[in-house]
Amino acid sequence: MARVMARIPINHRILMCESREIEFSGDPAAINLSDTVFEFLSEECEGLSPVSFDGENEEDGEEEEKNGNGNAEDNCFWETHYQLLQDTLCRTSSLESRIRSITKETIKEAQQTRNFCGCGRQFNNGCRNCLMKEVCRRLQNAGFDGAICKSKWRSSLNIPSGEHTFLDVREKSSSNKGEIRVIIELNFRAEFEMARANEEYNKLIRKLPEFFVGKIERLLALLKILCSAGKKCMKEKKMHMAPWRKHRYMEAKWLRICERLTSTPPLSTGYSGRAARPTASMLTVDLTESFPNLHRTVVEVV
């Protein structure tokens, strides 16, 4: 038996989701939407859309809250480090102040006098080696046990090998604390500058003095603050921290076993206060002037 299909005019079709039944022209029978695909689509539209929308809002809110908490933590980190750095730099002793005053005066005169460098390699403010020698000479003339130090270390799993030169002053303590050691680094700020650092880190570095004069304990505190800030900066920039920026490498520069050059540095030409005494060799002395009664026998050389 052939199947008969009735053609339904479009104006008699009711396909609205709000209706519960579809009526055919001339047929009183009704079809319940629960048995059709329209009911399924209606339930999907009514049930899932609001839930999905609320979920997106909730995720966005959590992300904004997380970003807000992260920014607050970052601001707290940098503000704390600014304060710690300022407090550490403000602490000083009479010994450190005297050494700092001599170092500052020497650097200032070196910047004004361009011909103080005695190695022949002229720079704007002279080379670092000649400047260290001049500072060391000034400290020794003031009665301090100053010397140029050279640290050298081998590579390990954490840091590469390297070497560094700086100045130190050692003084015996009146108490039972032992010997007091003061470190002098002429390029202290430059040691921590980074080309691609963020503004927070650069702001911290700008607070550093150009040169550092301080005891071992003060240097240790500064290294902890600055290396922690450098690590935070690289993390925020999503960059790898170079091994020569790490805390252990920085400690190795000034706090590892080093060779202390105890010999007095040569006087530089620009700061020489005493005139050089003329020296004469025995080969150039005329003995006849000193010993007029000296009789000489002529000897013929064959």
Q: Which residue has the higher pLDDT, 148 or 176?
A: 148
> What DSSP designation does 213 have?
E
Percent of the chain with pLDDT over 70: 59
On average, the pLDDT of the chain sits at: 75
Residue 290 has what pLDDT?
52
Question: Of 238, 248, 207, 223, which is closest to residue 79 (Cα–Cα)?
Answer: 207
- Which of 22-36, 118-132, 167-181, 244-258 bottoms out in mean pLDDT, i.e. has the lowest? 22-36
Percent of the chain with pLDDT over 90: 45
Q: Strand pairing partners for 131?
A: none
- Residue 89, Cβ density class (10 Å: 0-12 exposed, 13-18 middle, ≥19 buried): middle
When pLDDT is averaged across residues 112-127 and rounded to a whole number, the result is 63
Rg (alpha carbons) of the chain, rounded to whole number: 42
- In the three-class reduction of DSSP (H, G, I as helix; E, B as strand; rest coil), residue 10 is classed as helix
Residue 70 has what pLDDT?
63
CA 208, CA 189: separation in Å to the nearest integer?
6
When pLDDT is averaged across residues 85-106 and rounded to a whole number, the result is 95
Question: Of 138, 132, 126, which is closest to residue 99 (Cα–Cα)?
Answer: 138
Token code pair at residue 296: 């000489």
